[in-house]
Amino acid sequence: MSGKHFNVHEVGCCIKYFIFGFNIIFWLLGVAFLSVALWAWSEKGVLSNISSITDLGGFDPVWLFLVVGGVMFVLGFAGCIGALRENSFLLKFFSVFLGIIFFLELTAGVLAFVFKDWIKDQLKFFINNNIRAYRDDIDLQNLIDFTQDYWECCGAFGPEDWNLNIYFNCTDTNLSREKCGVPFSCCTKDPAEDVINTQCGYDIRGKGDIEHKTFIHTKGCVPQFEKWLQENLTVVAGIFIGIALLQIFGICLAQNLLSDIEAVRESCLFT
């Protein structure tokens, strides 16, 4: 028995503990993402009323934290325990799961390149759907404001897209003070202002084109995103290639460790 126990520990320690250390970072990050998501839902009262998940008409950014955190948690757990305990099943699960994610990313990249116009239409639909739900969720509101402020845009293809929102549309039945306006994130920044004027977009769409160009961004977020993507194509491509290489590296290390484990077990059977 002692001889077999010694042989089991002949598995490459360097690879074993490198995989363990690498994955424990991802596991902890997964825990952090899940914690933030659960805290956000707790603050919004979703955890006490699960049915409210379906009430939001637009995209809840908390879902992004939940999905990313969940995937990182599962992968990190499988990689950590699989490497530490030399568990073949968990290491195979880690390799296959990571391989599936890599394949899905590669497929998504190819499809995005081939169906660029369809992606553009879906992006427009996604933004407009979230414009409708702008006031329904604080996280969604902050996400839209950040997007419009960062890319200096307004709406999907222009400020008039805010007619889709019940608080900003220009219909006669709209009694909101924000009627015919846009959110403050659509406004152009005044370097002299230290405090954000949250009322800068009031009534702006009821005025002429000169006021539009002076006080708010007139370009939509879809064309601005395309412009940003073209200007930062090298950086974006570098990030995706780096992520892909890390995934391939993780799969190779896990497979290498699996080979060592199988070799040691086979040697144990013949001793």
pLDDT in tens, 183-232: 999 999 877 777 788 888 898 988 877 777 888 999 999 999 989 988 99
Q: In the CATH scheme, what is the code of domain 121-227?
A: 1.10.1450.10
Which pLDDT band holds residue 2 (cuts at 50, 70, 90)?
A: very low
Q: How does 186-205 read in b/e, with b if 16+ C-beta sit within 10 Å?
A: bbeeeeeeeeeeeebbbebb
Quick: pLDDT tens for 32-75.
999 988 888 777 766 555 555 555 566 778 888 899 999 999 99
Main-chain phi, psi angles of 216, to 5 degrees: -135, 160
Question: 95, 43, 96, 36: which is closest to 70 by C-alpha?
Answer: 36
User: How much is the average pLDDT of 107-114?
Assistant: 85
Give the pLDDT confidence score for residue 155 in this predicted structure: 92
Tokens describing residue 44? 């919004």
Quick: pLDDT tens for 115-166.
888 888 888 888 888 999 898 888 889 999 999 999 999 999 999 999 999 9
Check the CA dihedral 44-50-55-56 and report its sign. Answer: positive
Give the pLDDT confidence score for residue 167 in this predicted structure: 93
The residues of the chain that CATH labels 1.10.1450.10 are: 121-227
Q: What is the pTM of this model?
A: 0.75
Give the pLDDT confidence score for residue 233 in this predicted structure: 87
Quick: pLDDT tens for 23-42.
898 899 999 999 988 888 77
